[in-house]
Amino acid sequence: MKIMKKKEEHQEDTSKIAGREFSFNDYKSNDETAEGLAITHEQISDNFAEGTIEGELQKENGEVVKIPRKEME
């Protein structure tokens, strides 16, 4: 019976983690889950700001700007 109770408690804990969303306070947290969310948020923000592999940036007004490709010297 004791093992079953621990399993139920564990499932409840994982449900809390799975339902968690990013908060700007995660940048200052020492919690492992919060730190992971902050890192993921930073990576997504960087990718969004840098554009994609196609070499295009989309401005806030929706205009798409192509970045010219240069060959390596």
Give the CA-trace dihedral at 44, 47, 51, 54, to 10 degrees.
-110
Domain range summary for the chain, segments of one domain joined by +: 22-73
- In tens, the pLDDT along 20-59 reads 888 889 889 888 888 888 988 888 888 777 666 777 777 8
Rounded to an integer, the average pLDDT of 4-33 is 74
Predicted pLDDT at 61: 92
Q: How many CB atoms lie within 10 A of CB 26?
A: 19
3-state DSSP assignment of residue 43: helix
Check: CB of residue 22 under 8 Å from CB of residue 36. no
pTM: 0.47
3-state DSSP assignment of residue 16: helix
Length of the chain: 73
